[in-house]
């Protein structure tokens, strides 16, 4: 529960935390109070820290399975070029 109106990201409308440590404290408090597991990530739009219920490691593995690993493709050979 908040005793103030937290600032929210204009893109995703999630609560913005100034640091990863501050967000991690909220994760621990939420787990202690409600038994909910949350994860911390840095927002690509605002650069602040947000909480999510999605495990970022599972999300990355799922995307790699669906779309393949980025940067792991074969490099084009320059042999035969002038």
Instruction: Please check the confidence at residue 77 and state whether its pLDDT lies above 60.
Output: no
Give per-residue pLDDT as tens, 8-66: 999 999 999 999 999 999 999 999 999 999 999 999 999 999 999 988 778 777 777 77
- Do you know the residue count of the chain? 82
Instruction: Please check the confidence at residue 82 and state whether its pLDDT lies above 70.
Output: no
User: Scanning the structure block, which residue is given the tokens 């070029």?
Assistant: 81
Instruction: Please check the confidence at residue 1 and state whether its pLDDT lies above 70.
Output: no
Contacts of 19 (CB under 8 A, 6+ apart): 49
Give the pLDDT of residue 14.
96
| Rounded average pLDDT over 53-80 | 68
């Amino acid at each position: 529960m908040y005793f103030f109106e937290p600032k929210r990201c204009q893109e995703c409308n999630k609560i913005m935390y100034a640091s990863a440590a501050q967000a991690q404290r909220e994760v621990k408090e939420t787990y202690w109070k409600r038994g909910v597991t949350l994860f911390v990530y840095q927002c690509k739009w605002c650069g602040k820290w947000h909480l999510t219920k999605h495990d970022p490691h599972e999300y990355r593995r799922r995307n790699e399975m669906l779309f393949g690993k980025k940067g792991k493709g074969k490099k084009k050979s320059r042999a035969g070029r002038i």
